Amino acid sequence: MALLDVAGLEVRYGRIRGTSDVSFAVETGEIVALVGANGAGKSSTLKAILGMAAHPRGEITFRGQNLAGIKTSDVVRRGIGYSPEGRRVFAQLSVTENLRIGGYTRNAEEVGERMTQVFGYFPRLRERGRQMAGSLSGGEQQMLAIGRALMSRPRLFLLDEPSLGLAPIVVERIGDILLEVQEREGLAVVLAEQNALWAMGLAQRAVILELGRSIVAGDAEELMEDPKVRTAYLGI
């Protein structure tokens, strides 16, 4: 049984359709890349898993339990973390305060222990602990958004467009940290990205979305080497 199973997912925002038919699975401890152009349905898929977007059709199960009708706060308590597109840190709060908010599902002792671990992954955040989040660089804010999501000790981490607007050297550093967290904690990751080659280079498997549908899925390395996939979907 997969850790996460998404089947036939249709997401709607009123009359607007975010996805029409998305299906994929995530196993424990693996990274799955959701790649596609802007508007392909990547963010809508993640929001549906979190309970932040309505899905009138399809099924989402996590650890064998259907997530239909579950509040977002309870989805997080069940073991799913989320770092949204655009980072969305609490600009008027310090780095430490942002991290404490991310640990709201844990008791005070666990929050302290987890913060020490997060600072181990992101030493720059330790240095900036008292600094207001809004004054951080874009790369530092992305690190904070990821660290905040990790504070809840998720089994599954949904990460939306982490490379957006960042310098290549920062993007590579974030990728290294994701691999480190995955190895140490056995964390499963769904990485939604327009930067397909970077995301697929990190992932074990990839799902290519187009116009709200999952078009191609398989081993990430094999898909990157497939001439038809490279031409039709990766723009190479």
Please say if the pLDDT value at position 20 is more than 70.
yes
Structural contact between residues 66 and 5, judged by C-beta atoms closer than 8 angstroms: no
Please say if the pLDDT value at position 164 is more than 90.
no
C-alpha 112/C-alpha 119 separation (Å) is 11
Domain span holding position 31: 1-75+188-236
Residue 218 in domain: yes
Residue 49 in domain: yes
| pLDDT for residue 125 | 94
Mean pLDDT along residues 146-156: 94
Q: Where is pLDDT greater, at 164 or 25?
A: 25
Residue 3 in domain: yes
C-alpha 72/C-alpha 114 separation (Å) is 21
Q: How many structural domains compose the chain? A: 1
Residue 117 in domain: no
What would the two tokens of residue 57 be? 């059709």
Span 201-233, pLDDT tens digits: 999 999 999 999 999 999 999 999 988 888 877
Q: Tell me, what CATH number does 197's domain have?
A: 3.40.50.300
Q: What is the mean pLDDT of the chain?
A: 92
| pLDDT for residue 236 | 64
